Amino acid sequence: MTIFYQDHSKVLVSVDCIIFGFDEGQLRILVGKRQMDPGRGEWSLYGGFVNADEGIDEAANRVILELTGLRNLYIRQVGAFGSVDRDPGERVISIAYYALINVKDYDKSLQEQHGVEWINIEEMPKLFSDHDDMVRRALKMMRQKISCEPIGFNLLPSLFTLTQLQKLYEAVMGEEVDKRNFRKRIKDMDFIEKTELIDKESSKRGAFLYRFNRRAYRDDPYFKL
């Protein structure tokens, strides 16, 4: 310890991760049964401690990489949670982060290895400690974000149908939207490009596949800072 900030108590700091995925028309998050005491066996977010030599964002990225095997994800901080008794073992201040992933990119073996499962956000069991609060806040922030920025693409394959995109918005916002109005809005967004490709998975007729053009979005005068 240096001379600067003497006599102040140090505390364990962890990061907890809310991993959002979209599958079968449902918004889901990755949770697992806690494998350590205290709280062994309770449903819990995946987390890890912040090391002395890493920033908190770095720690979040590391932990999320550990869990998902994925890099360059859309990750945002939810906030710090620091009630004295939030962890029954020892005092731990935890910083929650959420990440959006395309479930198709997620390696099944990693999932098994970490003993985590996708749980529909609507059917969340009670979680360990204050992890419920973290999830609620993450969802609130994500809804906020998705309704003014196109972040939903991080939850979809790079090619997707308009119906998929609509179902995603509905699952996130928890309410249905009108198909024609939705498609009208999408048409106004120049950064959502129609391709000539057809998806035949989800219907007999087939549906055009679209893609999100990140560059066009960045250049869109509407979203310029």
Q: How far apart are CA 132 and CA 85, in angstroms?
A: 15
- Least separation in angstroms between residue 14's CB and a copy of itself is 8
Q: Identify the helix (H) or strand (E) that includes residue 125.
A: none
Find all residues with CB under 8 Å of 18, minimum gap 6, and list them.
Answer: 29, 45, 78, 96, 97, 98, 99, 134, 135, 138
Query: From the list 25, 55, 174, 206, which residue makes contact with a copy of itself (rule: CB under 8 A)?
Result: 55
Q: Does 224 bind a copy of itself (CB under 8 A)?
A: no
Question: Which residue carries 């129609």 as its tokens?
Answer: 194
Question: Side by side, which strands form the sheet with 207-212?
Answer: 159-160, 207-212, 192-199
For residues 54, 57, 62 and 67, what is the CA-based torsion angle, rounded to 10 degrees?
150
Among a copy of itself, DNA, none, what binds residue 126 when CB lies within 5 to 8 Å by partner kind?
A: none
Q: How far apart are CA 69 and CA 12, in angstroms?
A: 25
Q: Does 54 bind a copy of itself (CB under 8 A)?
A: yes
The nearer residue to DNA, 144 or 202, going by C-beta atoms, is: 202
CB 20 within 8 A of CB 28: yes
Output the six-digit token pair for 68.
């998902």
Q: Does 221 bind DNA (CB under 7 A)?
A: no
Query: From the list 40, 183, 214, 218, which residue makes contact with DNA (rule: CB under 7 A)?
Result: 183
Q: How far apart are CA 225 and CA 223, in angstroms?
A: 6
Query: From the list 44, 61, 68, 161, which residue makes contact with DNA (rule: CB under 7 A)?
Result: 161
Site for a copy of itself in 96-135 (CB under 8 A): none
The SS3 assignment for 92 reads strand
Query: From the list 7, 37, 175, 178, which residue makes contact with DNA (rule: CB under 7 A)?
Result: 178
Distance of CA 129 to the CA centre of its chain: 20
- Least separation in angstroms between residue 20's CB and DNA is 22
Q: Does 179 bind DNA (CB under 7 A)?
A: yes
Binding-site size for DNA (CB under 7 A) equals 17
- Least separation in angstroms between residue 36's CB and a copy of itself is 8
- Stretch touching a copy of itself by CB under 8 A, among 74-82, 162-170, 180-188, 211-219: 74-82
For a copy of itself, the binding residues (CB under 8 A) are 1-2, 4-5, 8-13, 36-38, 49-59, 77, 79-84, 89-93, 95
